[in-house]
Amino acid sequence: MEKPPQRKKARFDHTTLPTQYLGEHRRDTMASSPRQLDYAIIDVFTSTRYEGNPLAIVRVPRSCALSQEQKQTIAREFNLSETTFLHESEADGPSDVWRVDIFTVKEELPFAGHPTIGTACFILSDVARERGVVGQVEAQFHLKAGPVQLQYDAVKNTAKAAIPHNVYVSHLPSI
């Protein structure tokens, strides 16, 4: 049996957060549809298998349109803290831009750190390996919270994400 590729470290705010790959890419048929979707289950924030934060990543090809209800059903079926849906890049758009939806078993989230970093390590390590990159890979996710700039270091097996957030500056009254 061929050994699955190793998912190594993720990087988030100067803290090393390794990611351990838990299984081969698998195909699963959704019960409500004849479509098959590739998915992977990885552990984020650990270098030890079956520790850390598990994450399901479902690859969604351009030819597949999933409803919010279907995504929610799939996330409930995985029964992990989060499941991401990694939508294939648009044919006429940049190749290193993906739309990512993040779901818990109960709802969709506009942003969450561990699914963002885990999904970035997953897809960008594949991109680096396919292109033979030994340096940096720059990319972007479009989340409900907004665009997230990504940088993957193929040598260190680390990912960085520019986290979207709203900033409110409060002005104190003059004394």
Determine whether 69 is an active site residue.
no
Residues in CB range of 120: below 8 A, 6 or more apart: 10, 139, 141, 150, 152, 159, 161
Three-state SS letters, the chain: CCCCCCCCEEEECCEEEEEEECCCCEEEECCCCCCEEEEEEEEECCCCCCCCEEEEEEEECCCCCCCHHHHHHHHHHHCCCCEEEEECCCCCCCCCEEEEEEECCCCEECCCHHHHHHHHHHHHHHHHHHHCCCCEEEEEEEECCEEEEEEEECCCCEEEECCCCCCCCCCCCCC
Tell me which of 24, 77, 82, 108 is the catalytic residue: 82
**57 and 80 Cβ atoms separated by less than 8 Å:** no
Catalytic residues: 82
